[in-house]
Chains A and B, each alone.
Chain A
Amino acid sequence: MSEKIYALLLRLYPSRFRAEYGEEALQLFRDRARDERGFFPTLRLWLDLLADLAISVPSEYFHAQPAFIVSPVRQHLDGTPSFFLLENESPRLGALLFGSVLSLLAIATVSVLNGHGASYRPLGASVAQSHPNAARSSAFGRLAPQRAADSEQEILASQQPTTAANALIEGDAEPGSSQSSFLLMLRRFGLVKPHALQPRPHSVARAMVESVTLDSAERHRVIDGAIANLKQHYVDPDVARKTADALLAHEKSGDDETATNRPALAYLLTRQIRDVSHDMHLEVVYSQAALPEHPRESTPEDLARYRKAMEQQHCVFEKAEVLPHNIGYLKLNFFPDASVCQSAATAAMASLNRVDAIIFDLRDNMGGFPSMVTLIAGYLFDHPEYMYSPREAPTLQSWTSSPVPGNRLADKPVYVLTSARTISGAEEFCYDLKMLKRATLVGETTRGSAHAGVFHRIDDHFGMGIPEVRPINPYAKTDWEGTGVDPDVKVKAADALETAVKLAQSKLRKK
């Protein structure tokens, strides 16, 4: 009976959808009706179905497009007009009406623009007119709308955040020779590197409008803010002073005027700061979304929510399994907080305790907490080892609690799979194990972001990452910031597992 009712309701969908998926939808209904018996489950099923109908029926009609059937004469030449026929359907009355209104609007717009062409001035220009740099700003104003359209197309085509940043800068740069040198400079210094706080493709158009309004007063305010923050927070006061002087000198000599939009200014200042301080962890960042003045402290409820989310996802211990030849495989996409996920980590490592070699797959790892890095590394040593993290001064927790009772992995071969996406805390795991010669890294050079600075707000849109401590790096002067961790065996990330398995097998055979 209820199936019949649902079959009737299905008739609300467009015929094409019914023809293609009607039977499947009924089948799904039967499956659910069979599995969800009893009063409340049935009630929930029907509520679900009604809600689903209310949402999906209108959207099906809204998106429904008659299928094209292949044009009778195939025309493959570019630029040759070709015709497609609509399958079995003539345009609906509504569509015809909508089409006519749209055409009238288009004609009206073109004729109005033709009539007022000479006096037309885009918004950016009129805002900038009152400004001392009026001549230049208005030039950008006229330039911006057309370039914005170009850039957006580029972005739609590629969907790369790097391209987004490129296009953004390109869209606002001055025309002519200074543009190319400006761009070259940005590229050379890796300034078009994607960053969390850079605007995303979909917001580029808005960023365009916003970023052309960067004026010398704002530039001055940001530079002042950067200097104040450096002096107040940076770990080395001498270097902070030198860097501040350099920033002032650059501002005085007019170097900063090449940065005509906010992201470019953030990049430029970062470069100037790193040139003097030689500290890759210092950076100025631009955030399109306004940064709150007084960041909310996290509450016990936040922590409880985080804990619950982590537990629900088994603390993101994605996969722990034993591969053929008794090789253990642990895929970790995040290093969750050890205080929340210790038991999940212990369970995962215990399940791999009897393997002869172990592979950590960090190819999709987004980073995480140093505490978990140390906890897992602890299984790989028979004595406490120092896990260097550029973010924290050494504490007792920086040493692994090796040997772990009952653990048999301390002397087994270890392989770590890396990719160009492996980042942050995951790079700490790679870096420390590589430096301690405890693991063979297989894959690609990692992303190269230590996130070692503490974030400080300058104004609504600018902030800085400033290292407030400087733990001594026991291995080298620099860590992986900006360079990444190089693998021991360089292969494409996609081939890393296969390579690591082969390496492990041949090593185990030799034993």
Chain B
Amino acid sequence: MPKQKLHPLPSAAFQILLSLAGEDLHGYGIMRQVADQTNGRIRLGPGTLYSSIQTLLEEKFIEEVDQREDAKLGNERRRYYRLTLAGRKLARSEAERLADLLRVARTKKILRGDYV
């Protein structure tokens, strides 16, 4: 049975993809980055975070890079994750879908005056 967990793309998974667009991060790094990029609106809990990571890994949208220490967070070794090309494409297509929504918002005059 094929997994359809990422279809449609859940918000948490999209946020994780976005958080990894800049640099490789470990789990806690992703959580903080997501909180930053949503102004604290979304704080991913461990369960949601790692189950999303698990699915994204299985579908090869992200990959595990290596285990290393984060100097700022003590000497525990941490798994780092990286966005794959497919993941970048997925994030882009989701962003384009949102852009299309924006365009509809304009035609309905919810957002006015822009080209979008």
Per-position binary interface string of chain A over residues 46-66, scored 1 when its CB falls under 8 Å from any chain B CB and 0 otherwise: 001101110111011001010
A56 contacts across to B, CB distance below 8 A: 45, 47-48, 51
A455 within 8 Å of B (CB atoms): yes
Indicate which residue in A298, A364, A366 contacts B111 across the interface (CB closer than 8 Å): A298
* B17-50, CB < 8 A from A: 27-28, 31, 39, 43-50
Contact between A49 and B46, CB atoms less than 8 A apart = yes
Per-position binary interface string of chain B over residues 88-116, scored 1 when its CB falls under 8 Å from any chain A CB and 0 otherwise: 00001100110110111001111111111
A55 to B52, CA, bound (A): 12
Contact between B104 and A25, CB atoms less than 8 A apart = no
A274 within 8 Å of B (CB atoms): no
Indicate which residue in A32, A48, A200, A302 contacts B97 across the interface (CB closer than 8 Å): A200
Contact between B104 and A196, CB atoms less than 8 A apart = yes
B107 contacts across to A, CB distance below 8 A: 196-197, 287, 291, 455, 463
A271 within 8 Å of B (CB atoms): no
A287 to B100, CA, bound (A): 12
Indicate which residue in A20, A24, A296, A366 contacts B27 across the interface (CB closer than 8 Å): A24
Q: How many residues of B contact A (CB 8 A)?
A: 43
Contact between B104 and A197, CB atoms less than 8 A apart = yes
Residue with the highest number of chain A CB atoms closer than 10 Å, among B1, B43, B46, B93: B46
A304 contacts across to B, CB distance below 8 A: none
A83 within 8 Å of B (CB atoms): no
User: Within the complex, what minimum Cβ distance (angstroms) separates A63 from chain B?
Assistant: 6
A26 to B49, CA, bound (A): 12
The chain B residue sitting closest to A291, CB to CB, is B108
B79 contacts across to A, CB distance below 8 A: 24
A56 to B5, CA, bound (A): 13
User: Within the complex, what minimum Cβ distance (angstroms) separates B13 from chain A?
Assistant: 12
* A262-308, CB < 8 A from B: 287, 289, 291-292, 295-298, 302, 306
A53 contacts across to B, CB distance below 8 A: 45, 47
Residue with the highest number of chain A CB atoms closer than 10 Å, among B1, B39, B49, B114: B114
Contact between A20 and B46, CB atoms less than 8 A apart = no
A367 to B112, CA, bound (A): 14
* A7-42, CB < 8 A from B: 13, 17, 20-21, 24-29, 31-32
Contact between A17 and B51, CB atoms less than 8 A apart = yes
Indicate which residue in B54, B103, B115 contacts A425 across the interface (CB closer than 8 Å): B115
Contact between A370 and B115, CB atoms less than 8 A apart = yes
Contact between A17 and B50, CB atoms less than 8 A apart = yes
Q: How many residues of A contact B (CB 8 A)?
A: 56
B100 contacts across to A, CB distance below 8 A: 196, 200
A337 within 8 Å of B (CB atoms): yes
B53 contacts across to A, CB distance below 8 A: 21
Indicate which residue in B27, B47, B116 contacts A367 across the interface (CB closer than 8 Å): B116
Contact between B108 and A295, CB atoms less than 8 A apart = yes
Contact between B27 and A28, CB atoms less than 8 A apart = yes
A233 within 8 Å of B (CB atoms): no
A391 to B48, CA, bound (A): 46
A312 to B36, CA, bound (A): 10
Contact between B46 and A29, CB atoms less than 8 A apart = yes
User: Within the complex, what minimum Cβ distance (angstroms) separates A197 from chain B?
Assistant: 7
The chain A residue sitting closest to B47, CB to CB, is A56
A295 to B50, CA, bound (A): 43
Indicate which residue in B43, B50, B102 contacts A25 across the interface (CB closer than 8 Å): B50
A65 to B27, CA, bound (A): 23
Contact between B110 and A13, CB atoms less than 8 A apart = no
* B53-111, CB < 8 A from A: 53-55, 73, 76, 78-79, 92-93, 96-97, 99-100, 102-104, 107-111
A138 to B79, CA, bound (A): 59
Residue with the highest number of chain B CB atoms closer than 10 Å, among A60, A292, A366: A366
Contact between B1 and A13, CB atoms less than 8 A apart = no
A424 within 8 Å of B (CB atoms): yes
Indicate which residue in B39, B47, B114 contacts A368 across the interface (CB closer than 8 Å): B114
A451 within 8 Å of B (CB atoms): yes
User: Within the complex, what minimum Cβ distance (angstroms) separates B29 from chain A?
Assistant: 9
A399 within 8 Å of B (CB atoms): no
A250 within 8 Å of B (CB atoms): no
User: Within the complex, what minimum Cβ distance (angstroms) separates B78 from chain A?
Assistant: 7
User: Within the complex, what minimum Cβ distance (angstroms) separates A110 from chain B?
Assistant: 21
Given A24-B46, A65-B1, A196-B103, CB of A391 within 8 Å of CB of B110? no
User: Within the complex, what minimum Cβ distance (angstroms) separates A7 from chain B?
Assistant: 11
A463 contacts across to B, CB distance below 8 A: 107
Given A49-B45, A367-B115, CB of A31 within 8 Å of CB of B50? no
A135 to B115, CA, bound (A): 45
Per-position binary interface string of chain A over residues 453-466, scored 1 when its CB falls under 8 Å from any chain B CB and 0 otherwise: 00100000001000
* A414-449, CB < 8 A from B: 421, 424-425, 428
User: Within the complex, what minimum Cβ distance (angstroms) separates B42 from chain A?
Assistant: 10
Question: Chain B interface (Cβ within 8 Å of chain A)?
Answer: 1, 3, 5, 8, 27-28, 31, 39, 43-51, 53-55, 73, 76, 78-79, 92-93, 96-97, 99-100, 102-104, 107-116
3 closest Cβ contacts across the A-B interface?
A52-B45, A56-B47, A25-B46
- Seed contacts A52-B48, A296-B108; 9 additional CB < 8 Å A-B pairs: A17-B54, A21-B53, A27-B78, A28-B28, A56-B47, A298-B109, A369-B113, A369-B115, A421-B96
Q: What would 6 A/B residue contacts be, using CB atoms closer than 8 Å?
A: A24-B50, A52-B46, A65-B3, A291-B107, A312-B39, A366-B102
